[in-house]
Structure 1
Amino acid sequence: MLRPVDADIHLGGTMFAQETTTAETGQRRRKAPKVRAILAGGLVLGVGAAITLAAWNDSEFAQGTFTAGAFNLEGSTDGSTYGENPVATPATLGFTANPVNLAPGDVVTAPFAVRLDDATTSNATVTVSTQSSTGGLIGLTYSLTRSTAFGCGEAVTGTLITAGQALGTTPGSVTFALTQGAGTDPGAPVNLCFRITADDDLVQSQTGSTTWEFAAQSQ
């Protein structure tokens, strides 16, 4: 004969009385381990799924290669042979008259040309200035013009320094453009002409010299 067993159950702070048979208690005890095993398996499955999703990743890469160009200015005193003329060994201008026996009213001229060599990969802006002067240059003025071809007898296409500029000085912002060559060819030359004039202020027996600089900057 089964006897009723009284059990107290607390729900929300309220006590209830419940009758439980011995057989019902045994069935609950046998079922409890199965419930715990199922819950434990569910927890393991949840952790494993989270790790698998976190393993996805991806990357992208980019690279650039950089090579510098070349740039070089060269000059000529005869319009055919071009070369380097550094400050230590400047080109000597070939004046049409003897500049060592000047008298008031004399005018002497000398052509000069500059261009970019065949390895240059950029256009340029050239600035003209006086690099240095020595000795006496009193009574001497000059001008600097551009021409269609090499030589001071060619048609003038532009004036860079107007006549009357004191020898040994250069106005500011005297510039002209040079273009780079195509393929293996050098750039087109700019033909220039210096005109030196002796006036009444020329001092007898004085000797002097002046050196111009043509400074090219790539564009």
Structure 2
Amino acid sequence: MLAAGVVLGVGAASTLAAWNDSEFTQADFTAGRFGIVGATNGATFSEHATAATAAALSFQLPATTAAMAPGNTVYALFSVKTLNPSVAGTVQLTADGANGAGLGAHLRYSVRTIPGTTCNATPQTGETVIVPAGSTLTTGATLTQTLTANGASQVNYCFAVTLPTATPNAAQGLGLTARWTFTAMSS
């Protein structure tokens, strides 16, 4: 009987064994790109990634003057879009704190996004004011703009800079290199 118990014990142990099998998976991941490019004419885009390689805005002075005088307003276009390829994102205009030095202490400006690339005093249907008229040059935008993926569409900014009519004589001969940054973030 003892021998039969040992045989039953071994038999019971062998019936507890189970077969097994495994499945394995893997996946390859590649990070997308995000970047923006800009154009001063709304058509010829390139990267201006540092202050040293900043795009020069093309403000047109009145034909009768070689420099700004009280009452003058000048306009310049700057357009931004994503690279191709690039994911979508948002962009926001910020102003350099040093823009308030020299002539910048007297200048005022506004920025609006416009549907086309004609930047002048004429209001356009569909425009959005992102920096109100009369703002100091150190004022940035409070709104962000949407950038579509793969450079599918662009955001056109119209800058208007004014030397107010009440500008004092002390402003004569002053200068300023104003700087703005378009900070973009992927979405």
Shift of 1:53: 2.3
Alpha-carbon separation, structure 1, partners of 2:173 and 2:129: 31
Are residue 214 (structure 1) and residue 182 (structure 2) matched? yes
Mapping of residues 41-190 of structure 1, within 5 Å: 41-58=3-20, 59-86=22-49, 87-97=51-61, 101-120=67-86, 122-133=87-98, 135-136=101-102, 137-153=104-120, 155=124, 157-171=127-141, 173-181=142-150, 186-190=151-155
Q: Using the alignment, how far apart are the partners of 1:193 and 1:169 within structure 2?
A: 15
SS in 2 for 1:80: coil
Counterpart residue identity of residue 4, structure 2: G
**TM-score normalised to structure 1 length:** 0.72
Alpha carbons of 1:176 and 1:206: their partners in 2 closer, same or farther (altered >3 Å)?
A: same
Closer/same/farther in 2, CA of residues 167 and 125 from structure 1, 3 Å limit? same
Q: Is the 8 A contact 2:110 2:134 kept in 1?
A: yes
The answer as to whether partners of 1:138 and 1:201 remain within 8 angstroms in 2 is: no
Name the structure where strand makes up a greater proportion of residues: 1
AA aligned to 2:80 is V
- How many pairs align? 175
Aligned residue number for residue 192 of structure 1: 157
Q: In 1, Cα distance between the equivalents of 2:18 and 2:111? A: 73
Q: Tell me the distance in 1 between the aligned counterparts of 2:176 and 2:118.
A: 24
TM-score normalised to structure 2 length: 0.83
Shift of 1:89: 1.4
In structure 1, runs of 5+ residues without a counterpart are 1-38
User: Which of structures 1 and 2 has the larger relative contact order (alpha carbons within 8 angstroms, sep 6+)?
Assistant: 2
Q: What residue identity is the alignment partner of 2:108? A: T
- Which segment is superposed worse, 52-61 or 142-151? 52-61
